Amino acid sequence: MTVPTIGERASLQHLVDVVEASRASHIAVVDEFGRLLGAIDTADHPDLFGGLFGGEDGPRVAGTPRHRRRRDARRHAAAGDLMADAVVVGEAWSPARAAHTLTTAGADVAYVVDDLGCVRGTVTIRQCRPAPAAHTVPKEAGRDQVRV
């Protein structure tokens, strides 16, 4: 699965189109070389994306009067104006280090970047945790059997 990205100068309409097409809740904002500049979390902008993931057949863009006023005020904004700092982990990092970074930042998603800063994927705290140990039940040794 590829990580949805958008250029920092992209329009709000293009941003909404990318979110709708990818069904992703986090969009990476990149420069012309694909290097990560920041991220846009759809939960931070309910006026643009409210109801988009709720399974509703509601409007394409949230439509409460307050949201419409806020959206109209930002009509000519670029995607870079909406971005926040992204949590970043290196592609060679261990899962424990990535989990520590996510926990410390209080983030849901971290972007995995290569040595040049280009986005290679995402990781969540759930993906960093080791799988629970399988529950084993010791077998009873029967007659003429040896418990191992």
| Phi, psi at 20, each rounded to 5° | -65, -40
What pLDDT does 119 receive?
Answer: 94
Domain count, the chain: 2
Using only the alpha carbons of the chain, give its radius of gyration.
Answer: 22
Do residues 60 and 24 both lie within one domain?
yes
Sheet of 26-30: strand order equals: 5-7, 26-30, 36-41
Do residues 108 and 72 both lie within one domain?
no
pLDDT mean over 9-32: 89
Determine the structural domain holding residue 27 and report its residue range. 1-86
Per cent of the chain over pLDDT 70 is 68
More confident: 129 or 112:
112
Do residues 3 and 63 both lie within one domain?
yes
Q: Give dist(CA 25, CA 111) in Å, integer.
A: 13
Q: Give dist(CA 9, CA 79) in Å, integer.
A: 6
Q: Is residue 148 part of a domain?
A: no
Q: Is residue 33 part of a domain?
A: yes
Do residues 4 and 63 both lie within one domain?
yes
Do residues 97 and 73 both lie within one domain?
no
Q: Is residue 134 part of a domain?
A: no
Do residues 17 and 50 both lie within one domain?
yes
Do residues 82 and 116 both lie within one domain?
no
Do residues 61 and 93 both lie within one domain?
no
Do residues 80 and 95 both lie within one domain?
no
Q: How confident is the model over 54-103, as pLDDT tens digits?
A: 544 433 455 566 666 666 666 667 888 889 999 999 999 999 999 999 99
Do residues 6 and 53 both lie within one domain?
yes
Q: Is residue 139 part of a domain?
A: no
0.75 exceeded by pTM: no
Do residues 41 and 95 both lie within one domain?
no
